[in-house]
Structure 1
């Protein structure tokens, strides 16, 4: 089990990794030309879709939902440049898996950003649940599970929440306006769009984001397209905690701490 302070498991020599390269896009970045947490979340969405589409299991296990993302920013990724992503299964059960992603950024020098920059390095882990078309947890087919388990030692993965759900009485409150582009084909708030809400509350915590840090987001309930979003936030001894409410129902928890 991964905790807020533990490292993420390395790739096994027997794992079947999936590798892809993407260009860093301008809309992945903030004004400092650094890839945002929302940008990282989009990379994770993209490689998850590409992996299932290019595997032989897309017809039998096409639908997955994300329960949690852990994002360890060790060295920020900057624009322009490329990102190389390796994805593999690190733990499994019959209905859900932990998927690890290693993201390496290779910067390019251009007139827009001529400085010599270090390679970016971000480690992530995603708790993914196999579901039916109507969103109910479903058993992963035996052939896919056999392939995923090629480098796995933990085959009885259980869900353990990492983030607190209790909101302090003195937590700050802010409204976040939703946009039509924040929603997916199921009319639920897109996984990456949550990070826009989170990052809107982090302007006073640049010191935390300027050094290696861990961001953990746990999706408790989907946010429908008609709902109103409220963000509660509080500074802790270790970083920042945030709670996203949809019509007064807690839907998402976030913690950001120094590594």
Structure 2
């Protein structure tokens, strides 16, 4: 894969390769647990999302910034299932920065299994102030550390996805929000959005037979009392230039997370 400075942008972007060896790549190992695998022992997308969150928190703690920068909101997560990771397994997780700005950053996480399974990911994280309830500046010393693994220092937010409409949805399905889905920010945790993806993959298992990219963009939070619905749309090859010319040769499926007329998030799935 190309270096991040030469990476294309958009839904088909090439993810920055791991700068290994590099002293600023956070590198840890831990076991794959039973709660994160499906009936075939595959590490699920929601399980991978939890690992991505956990390794981020561990890195903050190791660097000594967990109290300085405790609050982060994910705006977009892109996960590539390159080769399924199947248990029992020991996971190696490497995390590093692939782009920065004063108030947000993109963080890469690569998850390797010892048996050859591989998941790549990149997440757009916004540093959040609980006092102002908005984006907040990242401290200069912490930002300097992030920049040691990337040349991208003027990262801008640009949405890759647009919601599908209720009127032409192939399917509209309710997704009950449970008490256990709600985190300390009083909204549905990021990993739960990925369980919606797993629900869909149960109906489309053929997508797991080849490398698959899934991207979720968040517009606003889902609360416990929300009546959440999932809208399914399928865009066949030759009709998918709306996602970028590079994807015009393949089918793209979208899942729109909606509460009434409000769009909360959008997911896109397509083969790599």
TM-score (norm 1): 0.91
1:91 paired residue number: 99
Cα deviation code 1:52-83 (max 9, x no counterpart): 11212222222111011000110011111111
**Structure 2 residue runs without a partner (length 5+):** 1-7, 237-250
Among candidates 9, 25, 44, match of residue 17 of structure 1: 25
Among candidates 83, 92, 100, match of residue 75 of structure 1: 83
1:170 paired residue number: 168
The count of aligned residue pairs is 248
- In the alignment, the residues of structure 1 paired with residue 150 and residue 194 of structure 2 have an alpha-carbon distance, to the nearest angstrom, of 30
1:112 paired residue number: none
SS of the residue corresponding to residue 135 of structure 2 reads: coil
Cα deviation code 1:177-224 (max 9, x no counterpart): 111111101220011111112322232311112210100001110101
Q: Do residues 253 (structure 1) and 251 (structure 2) align?
A: no
Among candidates 118, 122, 132, match of residue 121 of structure 1: 118
**Structure 1 residue runs without a partner (length 5+):** 107-117
Quote how far apart the aligned CAs of 1:15 are.
Answer: 6.4
Quote how far apart the aligned CAs of 1:51 are.
Answer: 0.9
Q: Is the 8 A contact 1:15 1:89 kept in 2?
A: no
TM-score (norm 2): 0.87
RMSD: 1.5
Higher percent of residues as helix: 2
What aligned pairs does 1:1-259 form with structure 2 within 5 A after superposition?
Answer: 2-12=9-19, 16-106=24-114, 118-134=115-131, 135-167=133-165, 169-171=167-169, 172-237=171-236, 238-259=251-272
Quote how far apart the aligned CAs of 1:247 are.
Answer: 3.8
Q: Is the 8 A contact 1:72 1:123 kept in 2?
A: yes
